[in-house]
Amino acid sequence: MNEEVKKYLDSGLAESYVLGLTTPEERLVAESLVAKYPEFRAEVEAIEIALEELAVSNSVTPPKHLKAQIRDTLFASEKEANQILPEAKIISLNTDNTNSNQQKYKYLVAASFALLALSFSFNVYFTQELNQVKASLNDLKASRDDFASALNI
């Protein structure tokens, strides 16, 4: 037997691999060993067969009446559900509330456009007022400069 295979078999990698207890790296190593070495593959298969035999030998056959009991329980709960909810109600989703909500949104959009127009007109008005105030301030500065130059003469 190859020393590398013997080292891995002694480490318990085959058992861990069969039981699904390996890390992803160990799983890759075990899969490569299974593909590369027939001795390792044989050991893995022997472990799998031993675990199957152990499971079969320790299995318990359920009582015969259990299947009927489970079936009766399932069908009884289904019958009870049909008795509790004998008929489904259909509720229409297209009601007058959706139409009234659409009307509300239309009014809100119209009101927002009206407020936008009002805001624009106030901006234009106050911009004109500001320009007039600036013009009169410039006129006052010019007259002050004229008066100051007249006093200096």
For the CA atoms of the chain, what is the radius of gyration? Answer: 46
Identify which of 35, 12, 37 has the alpha carbon closest to the alpha carbon of residue 22.
Answer: 12
**Strand positions, DSSP E, 73-113:** none
Q: Per-residue pLDDT tens, the chain, 153 aa: give them.
A: 688 888 888 889 999 999 999 999 999 999 999 999 999 999 999 999 999 998 888 888 878 888 888 888 877 766 665 555 556 677 766 655 666 778 888 889 999 999 999 999 999 999 999 999 999 999 999 999 888 888 886
